[in-house]
Amino acid sequence: MDVNKELSSRASQIEEVIYSYLPDEKNGYQKTVLEAMNYSVKAGGKRIRPILMNETYKLFGGKSKAIEPLAAAIEMIHTYSLVHDDLPAMDNDMLRRGKPTTHAKFGEAMGILAGDALLNYAFETGLKAMDVDPDNQAVYKALQILAKKAGIYGMIGGQVVDVESEKQQNISKDKLDFIYELKTGALIEASMMIGALLGGATDQEVSKIELVAKKVGLAFQIQDDILDVIGDQETLGKPIGSDEENQKATYVVYEGIEKSKKDVENLTRDAIDILNDLPYENEFLKELLMWLVMRDK
């Protein structure tokens, strides 16, 4: 299987869904924020989280279109987090994926508002799943998962600790694991859990999928740390060695390159083993998870 080709195909399909839920920017005095929202979402990306949601949904035999507004919602939340990460008060980045960041193009105030708007609009969009499948109680649980994993007990919580730990290479390993699990892993967990839940998975199966996603999310971030040390700058499309230059505590700092590589392999194998124990099959999902954590960029 050519994972890159399959991923590109699925990304194109899911983008059609995501774009169909974006606001019409032609009308209203607030059109600037609508333009900034759409610009941010359309700036590129592999659409990993909505694809993971959809593929996990298919793993459990899901067929309803109720998954579509939730897939769009998870990408809006991911996008808003990037918009805010790029702001002067955070990472102060002027480029993302070779294009001006949202605040660079629209101004800092509009960058803040566009991020706020995307977060709020994500839940407006996710709630449309109730219109598609009003009798499905799993939609309510899915929205609860989305809210929690994106919030103070998920992505935002991890981001808070990450910001407070800047230039502190002596933070504890437990705190570093906490940052990785929440900041990076929480939306991956939400994506796969929602896909499983709407696909008809039992509570026990949803818990197993959460564990799969937790392991993959941690492996994904460790691989990022490894690539920052040994990656190829041209392949990555960004400078390497930035973590060390910024005195940032990373998994590699604590465990070293070889142990980090081994842990990526072990976490990935454990995740795939859990998937293999389920009485369902989606070969692309397994290949995608392995690609995510073994990538070179």
DSSP track, 43-70: T----HHHHHHHHHHHHTT---TTHHHH
32 close to 106: Cβ distance less than 8 angstroms: yes
Statement: residue 133 has pLDDT above 80? yes
Task: Check if the beta carbon of residue 200 is closer than 8 Å to that of residue 209.
Answer: no
- Residue with the two structure tokens 């899915």: 142
**What pLDDT is recorded for position 241?**
45
Token pair in block for residue 255: 């465990």
Cβ neighbour number for residue 130 with a 10 Å cutoff: 15
The pLDDT tens digits of the residues spanning 90-109 come to 989 999 988 999 999 999 99
pTM over 0.85: yes
Task: Look at residue 297 in the predicted model and tell me its pLDDT.
Answer: 65
pLDDT of residue 58: 97
| Model confidence band, residue 295 (pLDDT cutoffs 50, 70, 90) | confident
Q: What is the total count of domains within the chain?
A: 1
Q: How confident is the model at residue 173 (pLDDT cuts 50, 70, 90)?
A: confident
pLDDT of residue 234: 45
CA angle in degrees (0–180, nearest 5) for 29-32-38: 125
User: Lowest-confidence range among 42-46, 236-240, 246-250?
Assistant: 236-240
- CATH code (residue 219): 1.10.600.10
Please give the mean pLDDT across all residues of the chain.
92
Kindly give the residue spans of alpha helices, DSSP state H, lying in 231-250: 233-236, 242-245
**Distance between CA 87 and CA 52 in Å, rounded?**
28
* pLDDT, position 237: 45
Domain, as residue range, for 51: 3-294
